[in-house]
Structure 1
Amino acid sequence: MKIKIISERSDDLINQLTNVWEASVRATHSFLSETSIQEIKTSLPKILQQIPNLIIAENEKPVAFMGISHQELEMLFVAPEFRGHGLGKQLINYGIKNFDVNKLTVNEQNPQAIGFYQHLGFKTYRRTETDDAGNPYPILYMKK
């Protein structure tokens, strides 16, 4: 598995990452409606183009990725067939080592992700009832 920072973000790569995102979300975000998934999916290419630091893990093609901005993990998605193999931990450790990642947000309705981040030493310091867009998805703010 190769981890690399992406500077050139071609349409093909963005499409591949969108596919990883969708498969990951469908496996882990059961609280999202189909409408919500499609709305986020529509805006994802722009988000992926704008995130300051985009890092992918690839095995011939992307199987996981994370986005980092100002020492904050903005996103981490792993294709379902690669979950549970330490890839998420590798990416987080890469982010900590190379970008000084020390905080993140996570949906409260995603207990597996919360447990994963807690296992890596992150602790909740704040909670909101809604996400950044005002949707009824409680968010936990975590830091190391």
Structure 2
Amino acid sequence: MQGKNGKKNSQKRDDPYNLVILEKRSSELIACLTGIWRRSVKETHLFLNDQEIRKIEAYVPEALLEVPVLIIAVNAENEPAAFMGADGGRLEMLFIEPEERGKGLGGRLLAYGIEKLGIRELCVNEQNPQAKGFYEHMGFTCYKRTDTDEQGNPYPLLYMHLSERKDVPV
């Protein structure tokens, strides 16, 4: 379904969230999504201090502009509640407003990515056990571990791929 401003919409009837595939990315939207990223990271990446979060945050707007596929979930008030970025078959980012966690939104976004975008790979910080558990629940298994992140920082990464399971829980 095509929405305003060239956005493609996907919504289930009983779901208060609308998934929007963004073709245009305004500076206001990038600032809003960066805020979601920051609040989400403060809740889930407890191994990062405020200085480290600010350092990483400086790169978030560029990543949001450059990721080939960016999908946001908007609530009934048309406000972004979560977002997911993908490149080919790889999940690049998935962040959810802290107050929206636990409502199935992450599962819905990832299931959409698996089904419609062919997502089969991702990496997650080893020090974020909630995310690791979520991805395992969604059918991903770890095939590689590194001692550092992709920038060489001392944050181990787990590389995961979708197992051969046919069902994807939502």
- Asked whether the two chains share a fold, i.e. TM above 0.5, the reply is yes
Q: How does 1:1-144 map to 2 (within 5 A)?
A: 1-59=17-75, 60-144=78-162
TM-score (norm 1): 0.98
Question: What CA distance in whole angstroms lies between the structure 1 residues aligned with 2:62 and 2:137?
Answer: 31
Partner SS state of residue 74, structure 1: strand
Question: What CA distance in whole angstroms lies between the structure 2 residues aligned with 1:73 and 1:43?
Answer: 17
Q: Which has the higher contact order (CA 8 A, sep 6+)?
A: 1
Query: By how many angstroms is 1:125 displaced?
Result: 0.2
Question: What CA distance in whole angstroms lies between the structure 2 residues aligned with 1:63 and 1:78?
Answer: 6
Partner SS state of residue 24, structure 2: coil
Larger helix proportion of the pair: 1
RMSD: 0.6
Question: What CA distance in whole angstroms lies between the structure 1 residues aligned with 2:84 and 2:71?
Answer: 5
Q: Percent identity?
A: 51
5+ residue gaps, structure 2 = 1-16, 163-170
Task: State the one-letter code of the partner of 1:91.
Answer: L
Task: State the one-letter code of the partner of 2:103.
Answer: H
Query: By how many angstroms is 1:36 displaced?
Result: 1.2
5+ residue gaps, structure 1 = none
Residue range with higher mean Cα deviation, 86-95 or 36-45: 36-45
Question: What CA distance in whole angstroms lies between the structure 2 residues aligned with 1:22 and 1:104?
Answer: 20
Q: Larger radius of gyration, structure 1 or 2?
A: 2
